[in-house]
Structure 1
């Protein structure tokens, strides 16, 4: 029997931010091991981290290693129930030991936020990397099937076409077999053309091209036009707050490091001094904040979440 959609404003306490009248929920999957930060952002040395006092204790460990997490964001705009990125997933064979054969309560947390899988209308994938597509599918009777059977899954056309022709190692081929191809085979994957100015995919939701990490990477802009409030979900164009003061720090898996840096610099400059809420797709709690200029670079002014409760203002 299907669980009926629930009102997000009547769900159990979970982290959320308000963007005008839009409640954006962080749906946690798993904290990533500290070794992940050292591997993913090798140029983020302890000395650089230590020079930014504001990064500790939330965003870096006592040794100056960047901390990261895996989570999604869920929200409702114009009646559409939306999920941005789907994490690593359960029971998937992965080369990274920290991602291999996970058994988390992600779906329970998503449901507790008011978004049972069968209620989701739209899944937006910022890009097609392993830790952003895993819950696209779940295992049923030995087969991988779409987790969100009523949803349209959106990805940039540039992103999908790049991977269609790019040589893949065995691990990436496995990820496509269990987390992307079943969605395509079910006819649920929609490819979106994203021009330089971005693409509106629904009222209040715009895909913003942020290439470099992957060729078709997008960030997701959420806007309550009636109240003039905006948030931006980063995907992996910004992995960690250390990249605000040091935008030259890139990820070891950036496909085009120079373009990734240029994208990051342009994006941060556009956000500095404004009131756009930046929601980091891998930022550990407090996860969100506004961007301000700080010397030659930028820093994040954290905006802690408020718990979602049955009765709130």
Structure 2
């Protein structure tokens, strides 16, 4: 059973999907230099970096938040059976994710709200499941809250509804576009079932205690989600960072970031915010507990697992 964290009156548990120990730093971070791990490898814990093989550990997971009588999921990982040939590690998965959710005491129909940091394959996949050859909502009683811009861009990417005004010029030219079929398979069935709710990412509270803050770059309208409960604060980071190494080297962009320079600006903003507030951070891809704190060090930031 995954350990539970307490933030005010909110109880938070990691719902695991995948874990791997063989991530190649040069593939994950195309601009990495030899100095990055030579200098900061010793600061990384053994559950995140193997100095013998030189590989990184990561995972995919969702976060279950139980507060005020509600069961909320922050993102929904990759899902089973999703056709993702461009991402072989995620293609046609068969994982016991729902069994892990049940072990935390929650069945799919008991999920009240799903909050999405962004619409990428490994963050929205369990929104739907395959039933008699058709994608249907996995959480049939849940409000699914997500960026209106992310949804429009996803629909355009899947050639469902064009959005010629996207991406906005302020983000610059995208390094690449999102994977195809993610919106069609994992978002559209939820929307057609009347379970989707689009929002503007502007820092406003969208649900008691929860607010979406703009951290664009990794995706077109990526958000980091802040939780405030009984005087305590936590952040759900989304993909502002993919590994603790980026806490030490925020200049490193992941291969998955769509808009490279905005992604770095968002990462640096978030690190300042997290360090200043001392808030507990719930990440999307860090291994080990997946949660921890950003600490200040003499020339930047450090990561401390909770």
Which TM-score band (shorter chain)? 0.7 to 0.9
- Judge conservation of contact 1:243–1:249 (CA < 8 Å) in 2: yes
Aligned equivalent of 1:292 = 295
TM-score, normalised to structure 2, is 0.88
User: What is the rounded CA distance, in whole Å, between the counterparts of 1:249 and 1:181 in structure 2?
Assistant: 33
Q: Tell me, in whole angstroms, the C-alpha distance in 1 between the residues paired with 2:217 and 2:179.
A: 18
Among residues 250, 255, 258, which one is paired with 2:253 in the alignment?
250
Does residue 210 of structure 2 align to residue 210 of structure 1?
Answer: no
Structure 1: which 4+ aligned runs deviate by more than 6 Å?
A: 167-171
RMSD: 2.0
1:195-274 matches, cutoff 5 A:
195=202, 198-224=203-229, 226=230, 228-274=231-277
Name 1:82's counterpart in structure 2: 72
Aligned with residue 304 of structure 2, among 295, 301, 304:
301
Distance change >3 Å, CA 48–CA 163, structure 1 → 2 = same
Aligned to 2:44: 55
Query: Does structure 2 retain, via aligned residues, the 8 Å contact 1:245–1:294?
Result: no
Checking the alignment, whether the CA contact within 8 Å between 1:118 and 1:149 is kept in structure 2 is yes
Does structure 1 retain, via aligned residues, the 8 Å contact 2:154–2:183?
Answer: no
Structure with the greater relative contact order (CA < 8 A, sep ≥ 6): 1 or 2? 1
* Change in 2 beyond 3 A, CA 1:77/1:290: same
Gaps of 5+ in 2: 160-175
The separation in 2 between residues aligned to 1:127 and 1:203, in whole angstroms, is 20
Query: Shift in Å at residue 172 of structure 1?
Result: 3.0
Contact 2:145–2:198 at 8 Å: present in 1 too?
yes
- Partner in structure 2 of residue 307 of structure 1: none
Gaps of 5+ in 1: 1-12, 304-313
Q: 2:13 aligns with which of 1, 25, 30?
A: 25
- Say whether 1:112 aligns with 2:103: yes
Asked whether the equivalents of residues 223 and 231 of structure 1 are also in contact (C-alpha less than 8 Å), the reply is yes
CA distance in 2, matches of 1:122, 1:37: 35
Candidates 155, 162, 174, aligned match of 1:164: 155
Decide which of 124, 136, 140 is 2:131's aligned counterpart. Answer: 140
